[in-house]
Amino acid sequence: FSGTAAIIDGLALELGRPSSVDTGYIAIRPEDIVLSREPLVSSIRNSLKGTVKAIRPLGFHYEIEILVEQVPFKALITKQALFDLQLHEGSETVVSFKATAVHQLPGSPPEKNHPSFSIV
């Protein structure tokens, strides 16, 4: 037990610092998520393969909803990134984010479909 990983529905996410809570929910800002076609070679600690479930235009940006196993993620990308990555509903992508981008929150998630975590 090191307290530096969150387990969400069997999916392990590396945390940037030991957790002060044992259970709760996590939040990752959509602008902190990087999408790519292949895993990135970098200092990013969390890289997960997922499937695009929805693409929503938001003015100059697009909100991309990705499902990794049964865990939902949302990312914000530019129109150019959408075209460069050739994303569409059903396409595979890699969801990457730094361990420090994972915010651990105690209690119950605000949304019914927001998964909870446990710390290991």
| Model confidence pLDDT, tens digit, residues 7-32 | 888 888 998 887 777 778 888 999 99
Range of the domain at 101: 5-119
Residue with tokens 């235009």: 57
- Quote the number of domains for the chain: 1
pLDDT band at 115 (very low <50, low <70, confident <90, very high): low
Task: Give the separation between CA 84 and CA 41, rounded to whole angstroms.
Answer: 19
Tally of CB atoms within 10 A around 4: 16
Tell me the whole-structure pTM to 2 decimals. Answer: 0.86
Q: What is the CATH number of the domain that holds 36?
A: 2.40.50.100
